[in-house]
Structure 1
């Protein structure tokens, strides 16, 4: 399935690809021009790919990146918290499944002709952020990893495979990523010698970056508009530092 939309400065299309026994439907956004550009893999919250992540991919394309917002649930958005947890909790407990979903999306992004395959970053939220971290622990050649609400730890010793800067953001009042989880994550990063940063946004809950939704959510979720804007600026700054936009005119 391919749906192509052209805006003033970017082109977007839906891309279908297999992963986790499903047909995933990702959202690819391409910047203006014709040369190869650095690229960003964008991972969604556990509810799945929505217009929020599509919009983030579009915004990155406006900044000059090739961006793929990847799918988690075979084209579905899980607005029932029980259904979402029933799928995501086993997934988050299985690094190999997470890596499989991430690798499939990364392959799509790498094979896009506009992508410079040597300059790719992963930015993710919640479950999508955990997948980005697992790609790093699996040794994927990423230039940066950024996560919000995803301070997940991996199997012993595998964080040493992360060879790029890692930035993580979390709300101070997030009950899902509580202080003990923050401490475990930062201890893992430090022990592995990773170039890591953690930003704690005061007063923010889980998924503070996500606009309010019109369906039930798990406890501890809440939007914080000011910190949402700050977290996006922090993501953009990470990419500007580690993955500056330059075009390969010969591609």
Structure 2
């Protein structure tokens, strides 16, 4: 009887020991399952203002991602704050950033014709103090967002928006990186020692809106200050190559616009690499 009781005691002790060893192994598995949540992009309509202008924007972020993350400002084409710029904000949110699609014209104003778009864009680029005020108002709103690490900021822009983010960077804006797509580089503020950001420019080699002489001057200015930059020119690619609306707009208004899927995807990868290099080291 004593032998049986001794064996039973030993057996129970072994079972208890094995059970205790298994518990710590289950914890990380359960935690991993909890952390491995699907991407869930949350979009927020926002309003912000300068002393003279009220603007409508859109903030996108992954609701299931914990902690603060870098913020990215997205500036629209000359058409104004539309669905396209919001889609780009959503795409950045899917990558783990918080993005604000800004409104540089005020009150969410959009252009239906290139003549109006040109006038709207010129009204901003010819009034640098107003442009800075609108850009900075959006940047401050982004900094204050609950998901944003205000020390890590970037800005990207398309067409008119590309010129805006390059100009803001040249004025010394507190940005770690900027990227411009199918963007002019003849800017109201040329590259100078105030530039802090890494710079990426992705343009089409056959973009008739971009003067080759301006590209040469831009590169020379960037080289003169030892700027950290990359200028990529895609052979055979025309203006507005990242927008799927380009072909329809080009046909409608008789403009040399054309979507290019390969250049679009390549330039987006270049952006992803820039942001990862800047923020994920």
Compute the TM-score of the two structures, normalised by the length of structure 2: 0.78
Specify whether residues 222 and 151 from structure 1 end up closer, same or farther in structure 2 by C-alpha distance, changes over 3 A only: same
1:135 matches 2:163: no
Spell out, residue by residue over 1:186-223, the C-alpha distance to the aligned partner (whole angstroms, 9 max, x if none).
12211222111100011111111111255544722221
Partner in structure 1 of residue 221 of structure 2:
188
Identify the match of residue 279 of structure 2 among 238, 243, 247: 243
> SS of 2:197's equivalent?
coil
Specify whether residues 157 and 23 from structure 1 end up closer, same or farther in structure 2 by C-alpha distance, changes over 3 A only: closer
Identify the match of residue 240 of structure 2 among 204, 207, 230: 207
- Aligned equivalents of 2:207, 2:143: Cα separation in 1: 34
- Aligned equivalents of 1:49, 1:76: Cα separation in 2: 7
- Aligned equivalents of 1:138, 1:86: Cα separation in 2: 23
Q: Larger Cα Rg: Structure 1 or Structure 2? A: 2
CA shift, 1:157, in A, is 6.8
Identify the match of residue 168 of structure 1 among 190, 197, 201: 201
Partner in structure 2 of residue 94 of structure 1:
127
- Aligned equivalents of 2:279, 2:40: Cα separation in 1: 20
- Aligned equivalents of 1:156, 1:83: Cα separation in 2: 24
**Superposition CA RMSD, Å:** 2.1
> SS of 2:202's equivalent?
strand
Compute the TM-score of the two structures, normalised by the length of structure 1: 0.87
Partner in structure 2 of residue 39 of structure 1:
71
Partner in structure 2 of residue 4 of structure 1:
none
1:14 matches 2:45: yes
Contact 1:95 1:134 in 2 (8 A): no
Identify the match of residue 48 of structure 1 among 57, 80, 83: 80
Partner in structure 2 of residue 28 of structure 1:
59
- Aligned equivalents of 2:113, 2:273: Cα separation in 1: 34
Partner in structure 1 of residue 230 of structure 2:
197
Higher helix share: 2
- Aligned equivalents of 1:119, 1:224: Cα separation in 2: 31
- Aligned equivalents of 2:130, 2:104: Cα separation in 1: 11
- Aligned equivalents of 1:112, 1:95: Cα separation in 2: 26
Q: How does 1:85-124 map to 2 (within 5 A)?
A: 85-124=118-157
- Aligned equivalents of 1:218, 1:50: Cα separation in 2: 21
Q: Please list every run of 5 or more consecutive structure 2 residues that lacks an aligned counterpart in the other structure.
A: 1-37
